[in-house]
Amino acid sequence: MLTPGRSGACDVAPAADSAATPGFHFLQTPGPTNVPGRVLRAMGAPTIDHRGPQFASLTLEILAGMQELLRTDQPVVIFPASGTGAWEAALVNTLTPGARVLAFDTGHFARLWAEVASRLGFDAELIDGEWSRGVSESELERRLSADPRGELAAVLLVHNETSTGVVNDIASCRAAIDRSGHPALLLVDTVSSLGSIDYRHDEWRVDVTVGASQKGLLLPSGLSFNVPSERALAAAKVAGGARAYWDWRPVLEANSQGYFPYTPPTNLLFGLREALSMLREEGLDAVFVRHSRHGAATRCAVDAWGLQTVCQESERASAVVTAVLAPDGSDEREIRRVILDRYGVSLGAGLGALAGKAFRIGHIGDFNDAMLIGVLGTVELGLGAAGVPCDRSGVAAAVRWLAG
Ligand code: PLP
């Protein structure tokens, strides 16, 4: 088994921000994440002809690797884009403008996806939700049952809500949709769970999975993914809106021979091949367990500091990001500023309704116990330096948990 983290920050460390801050800069946002040295080196290889035979075998190998990662036999569509592009692609391929879609106000990214849908001319209904708990399956079932004419064309769910650190139970949401007997397509965002939290496209009968490269997939931003089910592919044949760049059909056709209908980001694809190898070598199950240990250890530290996480349901707590509420009278922006300026660690900002209220500790991607202890130790130092009242026993609690 590989030692995650060894090949990353300790191997090809990102440059320190300035000569005044020696040592490694820790990128502990929940994405982009620390890119392992192996992946950086793979991306540094000379670019090859994207119409040549070598390229076709690269594409076919990567597409098979992505199917393995997403636990699917369905085709995987890769776009040179960030996750937002893949959100748009999922919508425009399956739905006709004016179609109604259902989303839940359970975090910044859930809201943003619904907003993207509205801006594209879909009729997005955003159901009130709790940012501290995630999507209510009973509410989902109730809303779909109240639509006997099947006017809602799709349900948009975020698997791991990166702004809150809450994981939605996609299998249970699928079961709720099934109980309602509603035909809506199920579209799921795995941007911050792909490659770090267990996810099963086929088993959970997801219609379009949306993903991106810059988090658990160990790459910089720039690749995003759609996985369409058979139903989604059928919907794509009749969807009535204009699409060109995001159209799955020319991509699938060219991919079948190992090519793309436009100039692909070859060096990111070199990186993806290496990242998939690293995940395979460690073993996907081991990758998931590693993240979940780090999530649990982080929550032990937060608890010992006397602070609270945004997520209020332990069984929904994210393995990859912990959003921590800044206590009354303190501002997460100031806490993060002190931690970055004094100790060179970047934490995730509070997003949307949590701006100023919660900072986020990313424990995702190429990351190991030593890095986690370093990051938690730094947060503990930073909380003290920022004058936030807290018990200095968080690191000890995390270490005890990791040891036990
Ligand atoms: N969905 C989730 C869950 C995210 O965390 C993000 C970004 O962090 C996005 C979508 C948007 O992706 P991108 O910023 O790559 O466009």
Domain range 40-279, CATH architecture: 3-Layer(aba) Sandwich (3.40)
In this prediction, residues 373-383 reach a mean pLDDT of 98
pLDDT of residue 331: 97
Alpha helices in 306-350 (DSSP H): 332-343
Q: Would you place residue 22 in the very low, low, confident or very high pLDDT band (cuts 50, 70, 90)?
A: confident
- Pick the more confident residue, 3 or 328: 328
Q: Would you place residue 19 in the very low, low, confident or very high pLDDT band (cuts 50, 70, 90)?
A: low
pLDDT of residue 24: 86
Q: Is the CB of 325 under 6 A from ligand 1?
A: no
Residue entry with tokens 């590693």: 290
In this prediction, residues 236-261 reach a mean pLDDT of 97
In this prediction, residues 282-288 reach a mean pLDDT of 98
Q: How far apart are the first and last CA of the chain?
A: 21
pLDDT of residue 248: 98
Residue 182 has pLDDT above 80, yes or no: yes
Name residue 317's beta-bridge partners.
166
- Pick the more confident residue, 289 or 16: 289
**What residue owns the CA closest to ligand 1's atom 2?**
191
pLDDT of residue 315: 97
Q: Would you place residue 20 in the very low, low, confident or very high pLDDT band (cuts 50, 70, 90)?
A: low
Q: Would you place residue 21 in the very low, low, confident or very high pLDDT band (cuts 50, 70, 90)?
A: low
Q: Where in the chain is the domain with CATH 3.90.1150.10?
A: 2-30+283-403
Token output for 40: 């950086």
**What residue owns the CA closest to ligand 1's atom 13?**
83
What SS3 state is found at 138? helix
Among 114, 64, 106, which residue's Cα sits nearest to residue 87? 114
User: Which residue among 79, 84, 194 has the greatest number of ligand 1 atoms within 8 angstroms of its CB, and so is best to mutate?
Assistant: 84
Provide the CATH number for the domain formed by 2-30+283-403 in this structure.
3.90.1150.10
Q: Where in the chain is the domain with CATH 3.40.640.10?
A: 40-279
Q: Would you place residue 12 in the very low, low, confident or very high pLDDT band (cuts 50, 70, 90)?
A: very low
Q: Would you place residue 23 in the very low, low, confident or very high pLDDT band (cuts 50, 70, 90)?
A: confident
pLDDT of residue 15: 42
Residue 3 has pLDDT above 90, yes or no: no
Q: How far is the CA of 193 from the centre of ligand 1 (A)?
A: 11
pLDDT of residue 69: 98
Name residue 185's beta-bridge partners.
154
Pseudo-torsion of CA 12, 18, 23, 27, nearest 10°? -60
Name residue 371's beta-bridge partners.
none
In this prediction, residues 262-288 reach a mean pLDDT of 98
Q: Would you place residue 7 in the very low, low, confident or very high pLDDT band (cuts 50, 70, 90)?
A: very low
Q: Is the CB of 192 under 6 A from ligand 1?
A: yes
What are the b/e assignments for 351-360, b being 16+ CB within 10 Å? beebeebbbb
Q: Would you place residue 4 in the very low, low, confident or very high pLDDT band (cuts 50, 70, 90)?
A: low
In this prediction, residues 351-380 reach a mean pLDDT of 98
- Distances in whole angstroms, Cα of residue 243 to Cα of each of 26, 88, 95, 313, 403: 40, 10, 11, 40, 53
CA–CA separation, 370 and 387 (whole Å): 26
Q: Is the CB of 189 under 6 A from ligand 1?
A: yes
Question: Average pLDDT, whole number, for the chain?
Answer: 95
Decide: 165 and 310 in contact? Cβ < 8 Å.
yes
Query: Per-residue pLDDT tens for 25-36?
Result: 999 999 999 999
Q: Is the CB of 220 under 6 A from ligand 1?
A: no
In this prediction, residues 355-378 reach a mean pLDDT of 98
Among 5, 64, 15, 65, which residue's Cα sits nearest to residue 35? 5
pTM > 0.75 = yes
Q: Ligand 1: which atom is nearest the Cα of residue 31? A: 8
Q: Would you place residue 54 in the very low, low, confident or very high pLDDT band (cuts 50, 70, 90)?
A: very high
Query: Per-residue pLDDT tens for 129-170?
Result: 999 999 999 999 999 999 999 999 999 999 999 999 999 999
pLDDT of residue 285: 98
Query: Per-residue pLDDT tens for 190-233?
Result: 999 999 999 999 999 999 999 999 999 999 999 999 999 999 99
Q: Is the CB of 31 under 6 A from ligand 1?
A: yes
